Amino acid sequence: MAEPRETQPAQVMVPKTFFEYIRSFGPGIVVVLTWLGAGDIVEAGVAGGNHGYSLMWVMVLAIFMRFLFVSLIAKYQLCNERREGVLDGLARLHWIFPPLLFVAAIVMGHVYGAYMTVGIAEASVNLTGVGSKWMWAVVWNGIAIAIVFRPSFGRIEVIFNIFLAVLTISFLGTALWIGPNPAGILEGTLAFKLPEKSGPYDSLLVAIGTIGAVGGSLMNLIYPYFLENKGWNGPQYRRLQLYDFLLAITMMIVLNLSIWTLGAELLYPRGLTIKELEDLPRLLSEVLGNSGRVLFYLGIFAAIYSSIVGHALGLGYLGSHAYLRWKHGVGTEIGNYREHRCYRMIAVWCLVSPIVWTAPGLPGFVFLTLLVNSAQVLLVPLLAGGLWAITANSKYIGHKYRNRWWENAVMLLLFVLAVWGAFGSIQSVYTALADAINTK
């Protein structure tokens, strides 16, 4: 007998016309703007500045990994016979998943928040020339607490749509203003080259970091919670979810390539690299004037701040759900984890604890971003294996929606890439830490 999900939001009508579909979209944009933050700005900018267009294949691989990950997550969320969440399915697979994801939500909430809080603080100081990093961190993270403490998903969608408009005008506008190189983009996407080290960061660290930022994030697991908050519960929403996610991924590709183009066109020909957040906007001001610098900084602000809000919201849901599932066991009712005090505690933790990283003398935004996004790839093999198991076995998802042979073949490839990425990540993080210690 199917076990109903715990206190779900009211379901919404499935759209039938094109305009009804457009009006129904939302969770995809929210999750993509949560992903499209500090990691994407730095990874794409550093890769473009250090290697031109030659590492764009990494972005293709990362987008592929993320699309597969999240498509499988959404399929289980909407189509499994027990009408349970993805975390509940992972808990059925092995008892370790709920406590592991609870701890991961707390630890990574601080770690993710560290570089995003530093980023929003640096962007505010650089743009206004007023105040200190810790002051701006307190202001912006305080506002984020007010947004996520008792969230309304409708309000969240409105806020994120505004952020999307700012991002599109900023990143796409400045990239078109500078002028992309279509031939370079095509060659960089298809050549699959790994260049020699250029600039302060090894190309392997940049490549693995990019995969970590785009394809291997723990934040892939927050998408089901946005689907639930939207009221999409059941296989009848699968097509709507796919269209919604496809639109969001398309926007993600456009915005990522826009940032990459700026690095490739402005930094690479001059032999420059990104060492500080201000480097790329400063060069934009030389080429486009101060208006270009301000325009780009508005995009940086929108990208990072949407991630700050989305991370606190999503990790609060994930951590609260994991804690209650761990506490009550598999197959039992756990109550409404969205209203549980554990959600509010984790959300506030994600926004308050990282402020310490704005103190003088601590690592900067770019270094923290590259290091964190490389280190998080270590989670990918476990998540890839767990998701593969619950979507391939009819015991968990049911016979009708279990993976087809080609989906299992692709997941095997994904798992191999995940293991390779984790091994490369260990090497790259060790090198980055050793270099940082030796330079002091």
| 225, HSE (Cβ side, Cα atoms, 13 Å) | 28
Lowest mean per-residue pLDDT among 213-217, 260-264, 431-435: 213-217
Token pair for 191 = 């050549």
Q: Name the residue among 230, 320, 164 with its Cα closest to residue 14.
A: 230
**Is residue 215 within 8 Å of 298, Cβ to Cβ?**
no
Q: pLDDT at position 3, please?
A: 43
**Residue range 114-128: average pLDDT?**
89
When comparing pLDDT for 345 and 68, which is higher?
345
**Is residue 75 within 8 Å of 302, Cβ to Cβ?**
no
Q: Predicted confidence band at 271 (pLDDT cuts at 50, 70, 90)? A: confident
Residue 206 pLDDT more than 80? no
Lowest mean per-residue pLDDT among 132-141, 328-337, 418-427: 418-427
Token pair for 412 = 């095997």
Token pair for 244 = 């919604």
Q: pLDDT at position 100, please?
A: 92
Q: pLDDT at position 19, please?
A: 84
CB atoms within 10 A of CB 271: 10
Residue 118 pLDDT more than 80? yes
Q: Predicted confidence band at 320 (pLDDT cuts at 50, 70, 90)? A: very high
**Residue range 68-90: average pLDDT?**
91
Residue 399 pLDDT more than 60? yes
Q: Using CA atoms, how far apart are residues 320 and 322, in angstroms rounded to an integer?
A: 5
Residue 240 pLDDT more than 90? yes
- Structure confidence by residue, pLDDT tens digits, 222-237: 999 999 999 999 999 9
CB atoms within 10 A of CB 182: 7
Token pair for 296 = 């780009």
- Structure confidence by residue, pLDDT tens digits, 283-294: 777 777 888 888
**Residue range 102-122: average pLDDT?**
89
- Structure confidence by residue, pLDDT tens digits, 249-268: 888 888 888 888 888 888 88
Q: Name the residue among 98, 93, 69, 95 with its Cα closest to residue 82.
A: 93
Tell me which range, 130-134, 150-154, 278-282, is most confidently predicted by mean pLDDT: 130-134
N-to-C CA span, the chain: 62
Q: Using CA atoms, how far apart are residues 150 and 386, in angstroms rounded to an integer?
A: 31
Domain 18-190+199-438 CATH assignment equals 1.10.287.70:
no
- Structure confidence by residue, pLDDT tens digits, 87-105: 999 999 999 999 999 998 9
Residue 350 pLDDT more than 90? yes
> Would you list the domain boundaries of the chain?
18-190+199-438
Q: Predicted confidence band at 366 (pLDDT cuts at 50, 70, 90)? A: low
E runs forming strands in 34-119: none
Token pair for 85 = 């969440």
Encode burial over 15-46: b for 16+ CB neighbours within 10 A, e otherwise. beeeeebeebbbbbbbbbbbbbbbbbbbbbbb
Residue 65 pLDDT more than 60? yes
Q: Say what the pTM is.
A: 0.86
